[in-house]
Amino acid sequence: MNKIFRKVGFIFLLAISLFWLYSKVMWPSSVLDVPEIHAHLSAKEICSCVFVEELPLERCKVIHHHLFDPTSLEVDTEKKTVFSRAFWAIAKANFKGDEIGCVLEY
């Protein structure tokens, strides 16, 4: 009985280790990157909607609604920037003109 538990435990740990290795090789980003991706996505989309398409902010929030809203979203119309925060991640997008549009700052 003890040998069976040891074999099952070894196979379980081996499977977990192989899955972890596979996930690091095939999926370099992890679940902890989701807030950063979401913050950058929200900042870029809202910046493009407000400053390129020239739509009102409330309409842009409806058009570009995702699974969850950013924690905070600030639009500075004088500097033409958008700050987005999703949990611990902060993103900033700037409007660079009609030819370039909005770009993310890192």
Give the residue from 88, 89, 93 showing the smallest Cα distance to 104.
Answer: 93
* Gap between the Cα atoms of 52 and 20, Å rounded: 42
Residues 33-72 have pLDDT tens digits of 788 888 999 999 999 999 999 999 889 888 887 777 788 8
* Gap between the Cα atoms of 61 and 106, Å rounded: 23
Task: Please state, in angstroms and as integers, the Cα–Cα distance from residue 5 to each residue in 1, 2, 10, 14, 16, following that order.
Answer: 7, 5, 8, 14, 16
32 has pLDDT over 80: no
The angle formed by the CA atoms of residues 35, 64 and 56, to the nearest 5 degrees, is 120
Determine the pLDDT at residue 61: 86
* Gap between the Cα atoms of 67 and 60, Å rounded: 15
* Gap between the Cα atoms of 68 and 15, Å rounded: 33
Q: What's the predicted TM-score (pTM) here? A: 0.69
Distance between first and last Cα of the chain:
56
